[in-house]
Amino acid sequence: MTMLRTAKAIAVVCAIVAAAGCQTAPPQPVLVPAAFRPLGVSAPYLMGDVIGGQHARAAKMRAAKIRPLSPYEAAAYMADLDAELRRQTAGIGLDVLQVGGGIVIRIPAVFTFDAGSAAVKATTDATLLEIARTVKTRNRTFVDVLAHTDTTGTPQGNQLLSEKRAAAVASYLAAHGVARARIASKGLGESAPLYNPEADESQKAANRRIEIRLVPYRA
């Protein structure tokens, strides 16, 4: 009888240990397909200084009587701006990304330019107008306009095309109320792809993009 009780007790202890082991074992990692990962968020060109440097850009902001953000204001200001942009662009198909302490609005090829053109087309016009309405009222940020191409054509031709496209979007924002003192533009050609190499047409299209980077103007 005693041996039977002992055997039962040992069985119960083993079951408890086994259950505890199941509860504390680390979960198996979930493999997320690459297509579902945010692309290019940590790219050096997005993490670096604003175009032209903070010192020169801040001087233009001061001359335009734009107030800088204090260290206590910046985080809440950018969080409110992020939320407003997400509400405003919901369902359009843009990406609103948090990068460092700033925000990047990534506009895909379908909303940007026709192949080989730097003329803002109708779909881009409607999209940029919505963005301009918010960016012009939230004026305590630097506005960097970055343009990219795919690898079709020559690197030199793509660089020139991207510069023209970035300048066209910058001019559009300025014409719709965003203070020129806040804006700078830069073409990156094919030098900063989301996909490298480009495996298909959808990846080429993803590489053709406009990005509007909003960086807090700090005191």
Q: What is the DSSP string of 13-31?
A: HHHHHHHHHHHHSPPPPP-
Beta bridge mates, 22: none
Checking if the pLDDT of 4 tops 50, the result is no
Outline where DSSP puts E strands in 86-190.
95-99, 102-107, 141-148, 183-187
All domains in the chain, ordered by first residue = 43-216 (3.30.1330.60)
pLDDT by residue (tens digit) across 87-116?
988 888 788 999 989 999 999 877 788 878
Query: Strand, coil or helix: what is 109?
Result: helix
DSSP category for residue 41: T
pLDDT at 96: 92
pLDDT at 125: 81
Q: Give the H or E element holding residue 212.
A: strand 209-216
Q: Is the overall model pTM greater than 0.85, yes or no?
A: no
Q: Which two tokens stand for residue 114?
A: 């026709």
pLDDT by residue (tens digit) across 32-61?
334 434 456 778 888 889 999 999 999 999
Tell me the Ramachandran region of residue 100: left when phi exceeds 0, alpha when psi lies from -120 to 50, beta otherwise.
left
DSSP category for residue 177: T
Q: Which residues contact 17 (CB under 8 A, 6 or more apart)?
A: none
Could you tell me what percent of the chain has a pLDDT over 70? 82
pLDDT at 39: 56
pLDDT by residue (tens digit) across 161-207?
999 999 999 999 999 999 999 999 999 999 998 888 888 888 888 88
Dmax over CA atoms of the chain, in Å, equals: 94
